[in-house]
Structure 1
Amino acid sequence: MRPRPALSAALVCVLALGVLTACSADHDADGVEYAGDYGSHAPLAVVGYPSTSTLGITQQVVWRIADGEVGELAALGDDRQDEAATRKTAENWITAFRTGAAGRVTAEFYDEGSYRQTVVLYLHDTQQIKQLHVLPVSVDRGTAYRVSMAEPDPGEATAVAPWVPKTPGELGSKSAR
């Protein structure tokens, strides 16, 4: 008995639609979560040239700090680092920057992000400055961006490097290190 071409084509279409629907369900859920976060937080002003990935992770860092979500913030850390230090760093960042992260924030992206991108957060309402390092890491499906979170000492977490300007854009988004 030979398979009928119309039946075979229909079966292929149904299977393809099932695969695509399953893939888009994950994507849709991510989109809904992002839209909810985006709609419930102050907009992030941007200076410099972030990639979509470095901008996305930076927004999430600011949102998690503002919301006081230690576990969710720690999950954005580079998993090659010590888990306890990453969690303590997340706690430090929330304690120090939560009020400022809930208000107006400008993120300045320095240099390019293929290896590591330095991001400086300007928390306007509290006049605080926070420097981050966003880096690509290998994951099962390719590359994801994470944040270096190795500041378990509160003083280190709030320290500002001497090269960081007091206002966004002073160096033209080129680090002077």
Structure 2
Amino acid sequence: MRPGPALRAALVCALALGALTACSAELDADDVEYAGDYSSHSPLAVVGYPSRDTLGITQQVVWRIADGKAGELAALGDDRQDNSATRKTAENWITAFRTGAAGRVTAEFYDEGSYRQTVVLYLHDTHQIKQLHVLPVSVDRGTAYRVSMAEPDPAEATAVAPWVPKTPGELGSKSVR
């Protein structure tokens, strides 16, 4: 016995609703995680022109440093790099910048982010500056953004490049190297 047109339409609707519900549940979990992170941290001020992806990963870096979550911070690193160096870099960044990352932070995004975007974090409460490189990497489903984390030496992790201005916006978000 074949189902009638009304029953077929009801089945199609039920399947579509089920598929949409499954997709929205995944999105809702990401949204809930983001909202939890966002509401439990100071807002990130932004100078320059980040993409959605470079802004998103930069926020996560600041949040993971502030929370002292070395494993989660290291997971944001470029997986083409040495895992032990990435983990040590994450630990160095947390040791050096945790207090500042928990307070007011401005992220200045230099140049454009299709190849690599330089981001300078200004940690206002501690008067520290941290330079990051955010880069796109190929993954199974396209492109993801990761952070270069190759600073296993604590002195290297806290060094500030000579071109980096002392305050956000001095160079108009254009690097001069």
TM-score (ref. length: structure 2) = 0.97
Aligned residue in 1 for 2:118? 118
Within 5 Å, which residues of 2 pair with 1:68-107? 68-107=68-107
1:118 is paired with a residue whose SS is strand
Q: Structure 1 residue 11 and structure 2 residue 11: aligned?
A: yes
Aligned residue in 1 for 2:149? 149
Find the aligned partners of 1:40 and 1:148 in 2 and give their Cα distance: 26
Give unpaired runs (5+ residues) of structure 1. none
1:162 is paired with a residue whose SS is coil
Give unpaired runs (5+ residues) of structure 2. none
Aligned residue in 2 for 1:28? 28
Deviations 1:18-37 (A, max 9, x none): 11111111110111111111
Find the aligned partners of 2:13 and 2:137 in 1 and give their Cα distance: 36
**Shift of residue 2 of structure 1?**
4.2
Find the aligned partners of 2:24 and 2:150 in 1 and give their Cα distance: 35
**Shift of residue 3 of structure 1?**
3.6
Amino acid at match of 1:143: T
Find the aligned partners of 1:114 and 1:156 in 2 and give their Cα distance: 26
Deviating 4+ runs (over 6 angstroms): none
Deviations 1:43-100 (A, max 9, x none): 1000000011111100000000001000010011111111111000000000000010
The alignment yields a C-alpha RMSD, in angstroms, of: 0.9
Q: Structure 1 residue 162 and structure 2 residue 128: aligned?
A: no
1:136 is paired with a residue whose SS is strand
- Percentage of matched positions with identical amino acids: 90
TM-score (ref. length: structure 1) = 0.97
